[in-house]
């Protein structure tokens, strides 16, 4: 079986074609980084217009790369949410048009499930497993028990870690996107120079909080001598921020692994996904934790950590094989929790 996957939930316009054996026949990603750099971050309206301009071309490029016609496909899958609603609408309408024109099954995919199931595309990881999802919009720990079957163990109470990376990079004058820039500077910095907080570390549960860490970076930078930031100041702050974020994620993940073991005693894998999963320091920390606890760490290739069409195509295939498709009246969703039964996050310092 061959499924076309379309992804337009944030600032990448992407399309890919994947087979049920895990072969990626085409994978096209058009990044909008240069479009958003002058603004220092993603502007939703600008992103939506770019998706509208380029979606058809990206799909055509994927079909050409795979050497296929639409009649060769078995289904079309698309991110139906969550995400920036303007972009999600563009992708959904594009996929519906293809499905209607070529009489193909239509599958609306939860963007987060695309990330969650990538390990099954790249590593054939068996259910159940613990997922750490770390990106610009999400920081969650989830027990993945099957297709569409998730139990949330922890989530961020305020900012996602990827947002904290981006905002801290902006404070340091590094520009957008912040994650890779922070990591590059941190390699040459002293992670102990600036004493930054580790929010919620040692507290009950597996939730995260990063707004206080981001604010602490601003306070420390403002307290430096007046004038332009010195190059070493930037490197040391980047290293200090990355160390703090990594410490928090590591401690929360360790707690979640212990909780996951009692919930799913057969689970032996820790999967990391999302854009921040590309961070080498975080991968190194999680590898130590996984080894210590007797788990296998599964980290998809870097190109499949960030948003892409292949993960959407694969998630669509997983649902398609279970005869799960969507109606053409499906409405795009700005919010779409993987675990609808999870309690609403209350905010740092507030009882849930």
pLDDT at residue 346, rounded to an integer? 66
pLDDT tens digit sequence for 230-259: 999 999 999 999 999 999 999 999 999 999
**217 has pLDDT over 80:** yes
Cα gap 239→101, rounded to integer Å? 52
As a three-state string, the secondary structure of 254-290 is HHHHHHHHHHCCCCCEEEEECHHHHCHHHHHHHHHHH
pLDDT at residue 11, rounded to an integer? 85
Average pLDDT rounded to a whole number, residues 261-283: 95
Are the beta carbons of 28 and 58 closer than 8 angstroms?
Answer: yes
Q: Do domains 2-117+303-321 and 127-299 have the same CATH topology?
A: yes
pLDDT at residue 349, rounded to an integer? 46
Q: Long-range contacts: 55-60, Cβ < 8 Å, 24+? A: 55/6, 55/8, 55/13, 55/15, 55/90, 55/91, 55/94, 56/94, 57/30, 58/13, 58/14, 58/15, 58/28, 58/29, 58/30, 59/4, 59/6, 59/15, 59/94, 59/98
DSSP string, 180-245: HHHHHHHTTS-TTSS----TTTTSSSS-B--HHHHHHHHHHHHTSPSSSPPHHHHHHHHHHHHHHH
pLDDT at residue 351, rounded to an integer? 38
Enclosing H/E stretch for 131: strand 129-134
Give the single-character DSSP code of 302: G
Least reliable range by pLDDT among 29-33, 49-53, 216-220, 346-350: 346-350
pLDDT tens digit sequence for 161-199: 999 999 999 999 998 889 999 999 999 999 999 999 999
Of residues 150 and 42, more confidence is placed in 150
Q: What is the percent of the chain with per-residue pLDDT over 70, rounded to a whole number?
A: 97
Are the beta carbons of 324 and 20 closer than 8 angstroms?
Answer: no
Q: Report residue 352's pLDDT band, with 50, 70 and 90 as the boundaries.
A: very low
Cα gap 173→105, rounded to integer Å? 47
pLDDT tens digit sequence for 278-313: 999 999 999 999 999 999 999 999 899 989 999 999
pLDDT tens digit sequence for 110-166: 999 999 999 999 999 999 999 999 988 899 999 999 999 999 999 999 999 999 999
- Separate counts of helices (H) and strands (E) for the chain: 10, 10
Architecture of domain 127-299: 2-Layer Sandwich (3.30)
Tokens representing residue 79 in the block:
């991110």
Give the single-character DSSP code of 70: G
Dihedral angle over CA of 160, 166, 172, 173, nearest 10 = -160
Looking at the domain covering 2-117+303-321, what would its CATH class be? alpha beta
Q: String of b and e for 133-171 (b: at least 16 CB within 10 Å)?
A: bbbbbbbbbbbbbebbebbbbbbbbbbbbbbbbbbbbbb
Of residues 31 and 270, more confidence is placed in 270
pLDDT tens digit sequence for 68-94: 999 999 999 999 999 999 999 999 999
Q: Report residue 67's pLDDT band, with 50, 70 and 90 as the boundaries.
A: very high
pLDDT at residue 48, rounded to an integer? 83
pLDDT at residue 350, rounded to an integer? 42
pTM, entire model: 0.92
Bond prior to 258 in cis (omega within 30° of 0) = no
pLDDT at residue 95, rounded to an integer? 98
Q: Report residue 347's pLDDT band, with 50, 70 and 90 as the boundaries.
A: low
Cα gap 276→161, rounded to integer Å? 8
Domain ranges of the chain: 2-117+303-321, 127-299
């Amino acid at each position: 079986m061959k499924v076309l996957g379309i992804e337009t939930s944030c600032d990448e316009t992407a399309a890919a074609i994947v087979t049920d054996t895990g072969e990626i026949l085409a994978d096209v990603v058009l990044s909008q980084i240069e479009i958003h750099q002058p603004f220092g971050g993603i502007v939703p309206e600008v992103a939506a217009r770019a998706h509208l301009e380029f979606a058809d071309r990206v799909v055509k490029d994927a079909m050409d790369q795979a050497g296929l016609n639409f009649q060769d496909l078995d289904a079309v899958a698309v991110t139906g949410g969550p995400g920036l609603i303007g972009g999600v609408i563009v992708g959904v309408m594009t996929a519906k048009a293809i499905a209607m024109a070529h009489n193909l099954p239509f599958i609306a995919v939860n963007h987060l499930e695309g990330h969650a199931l990538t390990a099954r595309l790249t590593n054939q990881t068996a259910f159940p497993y613990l997922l750490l999802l770390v990106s610009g919009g999400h920081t969650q720990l989830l027990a993945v028990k099957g297709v569409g079957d998730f139990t949330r163990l922890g989530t961020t109470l305020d900012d996602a870690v990827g947002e904290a990376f981006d905002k801290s990079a902006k404070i340091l004058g590094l520009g957008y996107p912040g994650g890779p820039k922070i990591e590059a500077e941190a390699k040459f910095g002293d992670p102990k120079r600036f004493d930054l907080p580790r929010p919620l570390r040692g507290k009950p549960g597996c939730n995260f909080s990063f707004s206080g860490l981001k604010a602490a970076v601003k306070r420390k930078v403002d307290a430096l001598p007046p004038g332009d930031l010195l190059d070493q100041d930037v490197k040391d702050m980047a290293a200090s921020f990355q160390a703090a974020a990594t410490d928090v994620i590591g401690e929360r993940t360790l707690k979640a692994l212990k909780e996951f073991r009692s919930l799913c005693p057969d689970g032996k894998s820790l999967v990391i996904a999302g854009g921040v999963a590309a961070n080498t320091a975080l991968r190194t920390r999680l590898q130590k934790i996984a080894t210590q606890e007797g788990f296998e760490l599964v980290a998809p290739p870097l190109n499949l950590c960030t948003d892409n069409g292949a993960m959407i195509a694969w998630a669509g295939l997983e649902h398609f094989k279970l005869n799960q498709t969507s109606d053409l009246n499906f409405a795009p969703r700005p919010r779409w929790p993987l675990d609808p039964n999870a309690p609403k996050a209350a905010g740092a310092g507030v009882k849930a």
